[in-house]
Amino acid sequence: MAQDKFIGLIAGISYIQDADQLEKYSTDSSGYEAALPCIVVRPVTTDEVVRVVNACSDCHLGYTIQGGLTGLAGGARPDKGDVVISLELMNKIEEIDTIGGTVVVQAGVVLEDIQNAVQESGWYFPLDLGARGSCQIGGNISTNAGGNKVFRYGTTRELVLGLEVVLPDGTVLNMLNRVIKNNTGLDLKHLFIGTEGRYGIVTRACLRLFPKPEARFSALTGLNSFNDVTLLLKEARGKVAELSSFEVMWDNYLLKASQSINKPAPFNGQYPIYVLLEVEGGVEGLEEKFNRFLERQLESGLVADVIIPQSEEQAKAIWKIRDASGETMAKISPAVAFDIGIPLKNMQTFIEETINALEEQYPTAVNLLFGHLGDGNLHLTTGCLTPEQLLPVEELVYKLTGKYNGSITAEHGIGRIKKPFLSVSRSAEQIKVMQNIRKLFNVNDLQNKARVID
């Protein structure tokens, strides 16, 4: 049998076959219907990844690449009977360059572990998202994760200097570049950032670091309209160069998120919309500058009210509400979590038209809104639906997303769930080019089949 031959070819590499243990690897955090793999292989080195890939090819077995299983697009869910290649044991931080400001890590390192390790060395890795304690950097790279600080530092793509990648034919591309400027032809690493494992497996990465900020301050503001939010964004960008986060929460999300984590809602939820701002930089004068900025916005009436945390614990409590999207979604399941990009000039009109359509067609549904907004990323969660309503709700929202020249996914990726809607954001010509690249690298389509593109 092919499976017996496969096990012989991977002798010496850690693997799991017990049915109870396989359950953990049967899906990701998207809620996509689970499917049991036939085996989970856990390599610890790039050479072992090569051996596993070659064994899958020799036995003609489809395989799924997995990281921390925090994805929301079904990209890490295997097909039934797949080989799963879990990178969870490739969790070494290999080198922190405290002079040049880089870190070399294996793909299975948890994001928070990178943050903590470089911080101890006086440096800072700014990629940050709610799943920081369980997502892995390989998954962040393969989906080009965004998060809370894209506004200042960019997406994962801007933080990757170099990669090591194993191609589906077992070839290893060592592209562990360590410098920002490297103008030596086609930058191949970009073929593997945000392409969800369709062209190769990221095994190691060299990441860009920044000097550790001496100070960080947050404030939660209550505003009276979305127009005020856009004006505040412009004011903050122009007058507070240290601005690192600009997170927007509508009242429905703030109230539901606070309830989901058993915390009182800030301002008693009396304002229609809220902005959570964060600044980071040198300690000298930053707090005073930030407070002066907030005072001016209050005096002008642009901001209706403000909460300025008096301790790190209070700041974390406010951020916990912002990060409670997972707990909140669980309270209104079955639900669809939209992660869309909309041009800021179209945002209010899009929201009004979308919410009106949802309320008219699905009057018992709950619609929650929050987003990074400074980068045009809006999160809409529509819940308390029936299973039969999920697909029609997706079709409604994505149709309107296309109408306003938006992206059906701003940071979570296409995976399996959003693949039927890819044509909303990509032309037939673009999809054809992506298919041709897949055929070039992933000839037999054994690796991460059925994601992103057919």
For 331-389, write each residue's pLDDT tens digit.
Answer: 999 999 999 999 999 999 999 999 999 999 999 999 999 998 778 899 999 999 999 99
What averages of pLDDT result for each successive group of 10 residues across the chain (454 residues)?
Answer: 88 95 94 93 98 97 96 94 98 97 98 97 94 96 92 94 98 94 91 96 98 95 96 95 95 95 94 97 95 97 96 93 90 93 94 97 96 87 95 97 94 92 95 95 94 87
Dihedral of CA atoms 266, 270, 274, 278 in degrees, nearest 10, equals -30
Go through 95-117 and write b for each residue having 16 or more CB atoms within 10 A of its CB, e for each that does not. ebeeeebbbbbbbbbbbebbbeb
Burial of residue 431, with CB atoms counted within 10 A of its CB: 0-12 exposed, 13-18 middle, 19 or more buried: middle
Q: Are strands 39-41 and 83-86 parallel, antiparallel or unpaired?
A: parallel
* Other CB atoms within 10 Å distance of the CB of residue 376: 19
Say what the pLDDT of residue 453 is. Answer: 85
pLDDT of residue 190: 96
Q: Thinking of the domain 93-211, which architecture would CATH place it in?
A: 2-Layer Sandwich (3.30)
* Rg from Cα positions in the chain: 23
DSSP H or E stretch at residue 47:
helix 46-59
pTM for this prediction = 0.93
Residue 317, classified by CB atoms within 10 Å of its CB into exposed (0-12), middle (13-18) or buried (19+), is middle
- What is the reported pLDDT for 235? 96
Q: Please, what CATH class does the domain formed by 332-412 belong to?
A: alpha beta
Residues constituting the chain: 454
Residue 285 φ then ψ, to 5°: 80, -5
Q: What is the largest CA-CA distance in the chain?
A: 75
Distance CA 260, CA 370 (A): 15
Peptide linkage before 334 cis (omega within 30 of 0) = yes
pLDDT value, residue 1: 64
**Two tokens, residue 272:** 């229609």
CATH (one of 3.30.930.10, 3.40.640.10, 3.30.43.10, 3.40.50.300) for 2-86: 3.30.43.10
Same fold? 2-86, 93-211:
no
Q: Where are the domains of the chain?
A: 2-86, 93-211, 215-325, 332-412
| pLDDT computed for residue 326 by the predictor | 85
Residue 345, CB-side half-sphere exposure with 13 Å CA sphere: 1
Lookup: tokens for 24 = 């953990």
At 372 the pLDDT is 85
* 273: alpha, beta or left? (left if phi > 0; alpha if psi -120 to 50): beta
CATH 3.30.70.2190 matches 215-325: yes
pLDDT, tens digit, 9 for 90 and up, residues 380-421: 999 999 999 999 999 999 999 999 999 999 888 999 999 999
What are 79's two structure tokens? Answer: 């097909």
**Which has the closest alpha carbon to 196: 73, 24, 56?**
73
